[in-house]
Amino acid sequence: MTDSNCPYCNYDEFDVIAQNEFGVILPEPHSLSKGHSVIIPLRHVSSFFDITDKERKSMLSLLEQARNELTLRHHPTGFHIGFNDGTVFGESTAHLHIHIIPRYENQTLALDERWGFTG
């Protein structure tokens, strides 16, 4: 199931970093650091608690694959990993997505309104 108005349902195949049967890794268009990516299920679903066990395992496998790829490409010192569930932070899309944000030495991570922070 897809949503014609959802940017995560209508991604450009050219942007795909990796994918498997149930999910895909894409670059985050509003990146907080070099390599910031999102892992999404292929099915349009809004809550982590509504995905199937196969989708959950798929997303976690893709999260690990993203970490490995980002480590090879960008050599971060660590990662900030997170997602919002529900509309409490005014997410612009109702499609579940997990952020993997590479962290670099001496880099301050400025979380924005997507994480409930305001300037």
Average pLDDT of adjacent 10-residue blocks, the chain of 119 residues: 79 94 94 93 92 96 97 95 71 81 86 56
Residues 6+ apart with CB under 8 A from 70: 35, 37, 76, 79, 100, 102
**Separation CA 90–CA 101 (nearest Å):** 20
Q: Residue 8: inside a domain, yes or no?
A: no
Q: Residue 49: inside a domain, yes or no?
A: yes
CATH number, domain containing residue 36: 3.30.428.10
Q: Residue 1: inside a domain, yes or no?
A: no
The pLDDT, as a whole number, for residue 13 is: 92
Provide the number of structural domains found in the chain. 1
Closest to 39 (Cα-Cα) out of 3, 76, 82: 82
User: What domain range includes position 60?
Assistant: 13-115
| CB atoms closer than 10 angstroms to residue 41 | 24
User: What is this structure's pTM?
Assistant: 0.84
